[in-house]
Amino acid sequence: MKDLFEGIPEETIETTLDMIQRNLDQVGLYGGHTIRKHTDIQVLALKTRLNAEDIIYATSFWDMEVAVAVVKSLMKRFYNPLIREWLLDTTRDVISLHGEFSKPVGYGFKKGIDMLNEDLKKACVVLLKDGEADWGFRILTCYPKF
């Protein structure tokens, strides 16, 4: 398990955590491969993935703009206290953030149901601590959910 703040004075830790919160819009997490992997995926590709892999759902965000908005929203919504406490926690390297939105954020298939659901209003963002990342963490995955 990672201790991102090992040997750092308490005052510096608090200042750093506050700075991360104030600058969430600038955190370089939003344009990466992880988000693109679950964005604007063709319907046939989702069906193929659902049948080829051992998964229950195959989903996609509508487009990159929606995906980025979802990730930013969940990061802001859960920074205080959830993400902040997780960054200080030395027992967990991964955190999952789940949220519901007023409008659909994506579409997808559920195994056993051949009809495309275009009304997915929930999403998940999974963060991983990473001492090499600018802010001490990165997005492991993110996706719309049923």
Q: Which helix (H) or strand (E) element contains residue 126?
A: strand 122-129
Reference 46, options 122, 123, 118, 108; nearest CA is 108
CA neighbours closer than 13 Å in the CB half-sphere of residue 120: 27
Contacts made by residues 66-69, CB under 8 angstroms, sequence distance 24+:
66/39, 66/105, 66/106, 67/35, 67/38, 67/39, 67/105, 67/142, 68/30, 68/31, 68/35
Predicted TM-score (pTM) of the model is 0.85
pLDDT mean by block of 10 residues, the chain; 146 residues: 83 83 65 76 95 96 92 92 93 96 98 96 94 84 94
Predicted local confidence at residue 135, as pLDDT = 80
